[in-house]
């Protein structure tokens, strides 16, 4: 078998473990060229698709809510990564680390439990490196995500509905299945995004430093969704050290276990977990918000119709929380919001009128939406901290 260094895709070794290249692509200058003006510079040439990760636009919100007139809310469009989500960055980082440590060898198999984005990230990296990729999905996984995974050459392993826990979650069953596959398949490696501390490292090295490069004096707050807590812990680890004034605001979906709010089923994918993830530390949170499916999806529709951005379900929750939080300040604030993924993978759910009706979800508009955002309250931090004990 060829050694790793002689594999054709190996030039991307430079990109897989080198976040600095991504960060250096940013400029702190605010660009607002006239509509239709040609871009000033082209993006750098990339040696492979994984070398193109991380160089994403950061875009101001202008029309979604009256607070956009008073405060600068910027959305970091991780949806502009080549596969459409932030999870390609930690997928690339974890694969690189596993290759370095010898856990993943040429011809090996990557096995993971994913509701979509991390699986797609691994499928992309697997495709560029010649690995077999097995993704454990469940009944909640949409047809689009299934087709996307398969289009990248990944194989699907489905956990049956009967494996759901009392709250309808299949996350634990999926992780057990992935573990079992790693044990039984020769050459298999399970990155275990839910428990792997390198997931956190990836976001300290990439995402946090990309934000720092764009905001040299640090934003007033960073608003981030929580599931595995890779983003939350990785970003906060960097900013607590380099810009302690930057508040860290965590966002979860109502019904999830992470923030200690009442458990119930939810339709959101991407956010939420049925257990407290090992990489999560509630002490890093300066505020936390639990956002309902209906409010999150309503904000998604408003982002498309008032800001021209068709984004994923969790982005609606993150933007709702940011808009609720920023209203506590009379002085103009600069917030950086993480947009984890693109909206086209939610066309048959969040953006489908029949699906919304079938699940009794009403999309709020105009003043009703503004009111709902204004009424959103943070989850008390003592509750958040108790829940994680
Ligand atoms: C769409 C989406 N939003 C938010 C998150 C939360 O990110 P993390 O797992 O880093 O906590 C995820 C993670 O799966 C996601 O897929």
User: What are residue 287's DSSP bridge partners?
Assistant: 249
CB-based contacts of 203, cutoff 8 Å, min separation 6: 89, 90, 230, 231, 233, 234, 235
pLDDT at residue 278 tops 70: yes
**pLDDT tops 80 at residue 183:** yes
Span 143-149, average pLDDT: 94
Span 343-377, pLDDT tens digits:
999 999 999 999 999 999 999 999 999 999 999 99
User: Is 42 an active-site residue?
Assistant: no
Query: What pTM does this model have?
Result: 0.91
CB burial class (10 A; 0-12, 13-18, 19+) of residue 321?
A: buried
Distance 9 CA to ligand 1 centre (A): 28
Provide the pLDDT for residue 29.
Answer: 65
The pLDDT of 262-267, averaged and rounded, is: 94
Domain-by-domain residue ranges, the chain? 52-81+197-387, 87-189
Partners of 138 in the β-ladder: 159
Dist. CA 37 → ligand 1 center (Å): 34
Architecture of the domain whose range is 52-81+197-387: 3-Layer(aba) Sandwich (3.40)
Tell me the backbone φ, ψ of residue 44, rounded to 5 degrees: -65, 155
DSSP-assigned letters across all residues of 303-351: HHHHH---B-HHHHHHHHHHHHHHTT-SS--EEEEEE-BBSGGGTTTTT
CA atoms within 13 A on the CB side of 306: 19
Catalytic residue among 48, 76, 85, 87: 87
Q: Which protein residue has the closest C-alpha to ligand 1 atom 3?
A: 270
Query: pLDDT tens, 13-46?
Result: 444 545 544 443 444 567 777 787 776 677 789 9
Count CB-CB contacts under 10 A for residue 213: 16
Show Cβ contacts of residue 181 under 8 Å, excluding neighbours closer than 6 positions.
111, 134, 136, 157, 188, 190
Q: What is the largest CA-CA distance in the chain?
A: 63
CA angle centred on 256, ends 255 and 261, rounded to 5°: 70
- Tell me which of 3.20.20.20, 3.40.109.10, 3.40.50.1100, 3.40.50.150 is the CATH number of domain 87-189: 3.40.50.1100
CA distance 134 to 121: 12
> Which of 142-146, 169-173, 284-288 is predicted with the least confidence, judged by mean pLDDT?
169-173
Ligand 1 site residues (CB inside 6 A) read 87, 117-118, 225-232, 270-271, 312, 314, 340-341
Rounded-to-integer distance, Cα 266 and Cα 208, Å: 29
The pLDDT of residue 181 is above 90: yes
Confidence band, pLDDT 50/70/90 cuts, at residue 5: very low
CA 298 to chain centre: 19
Dist. CA 318–CA 339, nearest whole Å = 8
Q: Quick check: 250 and 227 in contact, CB under 8 A?
A: no
Q: Residue whose CA is closest, atom 12 of ligand 1?
A: 270
Is 240 a residue of the active site?
no
Which residue's CA is the nearest one to ligand 1's atom 9? 228
Alpha helices by DSSP H, the chain:
13-16, 19-24, 67-70, 87-101, 117-129, 143-151, 171-184, 197-205, 207-214, 230-242, 293-307, 313-326, 353-358, 366-375, 381-387
Q: What is the C-alpha separation between 117 and 85, in angstroms, rounded?
A: 6
- Ligand 1 center to 106 CA (angstroms): 28
**What token pair was written down for 234?**
């990785």
């Amino acid at each position: 078998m060829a050694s790793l260094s002689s594999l054709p895709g190996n030039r991307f070794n430079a990109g897989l473990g080198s976040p600095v290249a991504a960060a250096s692509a940013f400029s702190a200058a605010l660009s607002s060229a006239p509509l239709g003006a040609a871009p000033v510079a082209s993006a750098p040439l990339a040696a492979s698709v994984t070398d193109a990760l991380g160089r994403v636009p950061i875009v101001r919100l202008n029309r979604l809510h009256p607070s956009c007139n008073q405060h600068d809310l910027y959305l970091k469009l991780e949806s502009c990564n080549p596969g459409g989500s932030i999870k390609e960055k930690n997928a690339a980082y974890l694969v690189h680390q596993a290759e370095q440590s010898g856990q993943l060898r040429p011809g090996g198999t990557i096995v993971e439990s994913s509701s979509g984005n991390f699986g797609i990230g691994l499928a992309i990296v697997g495709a560029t490196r010649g690995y077999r990729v097995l993704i454990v999905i469940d009944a909640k996984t949409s047809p689009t995500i299934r087709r996307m995974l398969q289009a990248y050459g990944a194989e699907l392993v489905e956990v049956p509905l009967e494996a759901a826990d009392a709250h309808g979650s299949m996350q634990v069953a999926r992780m057990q299945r992935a573990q079992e596959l790693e044990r039984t398949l020769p050459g298999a490696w399970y990155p275990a995004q839910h428990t792997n501390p390198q997931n956190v490292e990836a976001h300290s090295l990439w995402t946090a430093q990309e934000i720092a490069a764009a905001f040299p004096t640090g934003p007033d707050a960073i608003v981030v969704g929580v599931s595995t807590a890779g983003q939350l812990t990785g970003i906060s680890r960097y900013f607590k050290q380099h810009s302690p004034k930057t508040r860290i605001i965590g966002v979860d979906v109502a019904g999830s276990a992470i923030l200690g709010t009442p458990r119930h089923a939810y339709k959101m994918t991407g956010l939420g977990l049925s257990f407290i993830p090992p990489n999560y530390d509630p002490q890093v949170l300066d505020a936390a918000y639990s956002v309902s499916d209906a409010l999150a999806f309503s904000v998604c529709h408003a982002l498309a119709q008032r800001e021209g951005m068709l984004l994923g379900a969790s982005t609606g929750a993150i933007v709702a929380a940011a808009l609720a939080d920023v209203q506590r300040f009379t002085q103009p604030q600069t917030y950086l919001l993480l947009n984890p993924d693109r909206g086209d993978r939610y066309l048959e759910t969040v953006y489908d009128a029949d699906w919304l009706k079938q699940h009794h979800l009403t999309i709020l508009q105009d003043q009703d939406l503004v009111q709902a955002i204004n009424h959103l309250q943070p989850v008390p931090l003592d509750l958040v901290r108790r829940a994680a004990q």
